[in-house]
C-alpha cells in the first residue's frame, strides 16, 4: 500500500509547476489582484499577487499543470475593467515555502495571498 501511495505522490509532484508572471496594461485600480486571488483559490492554486510601482501586477502561482494553464488564460483576460497588454511568463524551479506564501509565516499558512 505504501508503494502505491508513494507512486501517487510522485505523479502528483510531477504534474506541479510554479510560474512567475508580470501582467502589464491597465491592471491596477481595476480589481486585478482580487480577481487573481478569487480565481487562484477556485483552481486550488497557491501563491501570491501584488502591485508593482511601474503599474504592472506580479504574481507567483503554484499548482497542477492544468490549473496553472487555466489560470494563465484567466490572467490574459483579467476582470472586465482591466485591459491586459502582455504577460511575461517565467517557469520557476524549486521554491521555498516563504517564497510561495509571500511572507516568512509558517508553511501551514500557504494559500493564495496579496502582498503589499
Q: Is 33 considered catalytic here?
A: yes
Query: In terms of DSSP bridges, do strands 112-114 and 46-51 run parallel, antiparallel, or are they unpaired?
Result: parallel
CA 114 to chain centre: 11
| Grid cell for residue 16 | 506541479
pLDDT at residue 108 greater than cutoff 90: no
Alpha-carbon distance 97 to 101, whole Å? 6
| Domains in the chain: ranges and CATH | 2-114 (3.30.70.100)
pLDDT band, residue 14 (cuts 50/70/90): low
| pLDDT (tens digit per residue) in 95-107 | 887 787 765 444 4
18 bridge partner residues: 62, 92
* Averaged pLDDT for residues 74-78: 98
- Marked catalytic residue, from 5, 9, 15, 51: 51
12 is annotated as an active-site residue? no
Locus of grid cell 511572507: 103
- Read off the pLDDT of residues 35-54 as tens digits, 9 standing for 90 and up: 999 999 999 999 999 999 99
Could you say which of 5, 14, 26, 33 is catalytic? 33
Unique residue bearing C-alpha cell 511601474: 54
Amino acid at each position: 500500500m505504501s508503494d502505491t501511495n508513494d507512486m501517487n505522490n510522485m505523479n502528483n509532484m510531477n504534474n506541479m509547476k510554479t510560474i512567475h508572471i508580470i501582467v502589464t496594461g491597465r491592471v491596477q485600480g481595476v480589481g486585478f489582484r482580487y480577481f487573481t486571488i478569487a480565481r487562484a483559490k477556485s483552481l486550488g492554486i497557491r501563491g501570491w499577487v501584488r502591485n508593482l510601482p511601474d503599474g504592472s501586477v506580479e504574481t507567483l502561482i503554484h499548482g497542477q499543470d492544468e490549473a496553472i494553464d487555466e489560470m494563465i488564460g484567466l490572467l490574459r483576460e483579467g476582470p472586465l475593467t482591466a485591459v491586459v497588454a502582455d504577460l511575461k511568463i517565467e517557469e520557476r524551479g524549486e521554491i521555498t515555502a516563504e517564497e510561495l506564501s509571500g511572507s516568512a509565516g509558517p508553511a501551514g499558512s500557504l494559500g493564495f495571498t496579496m502582498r503589499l
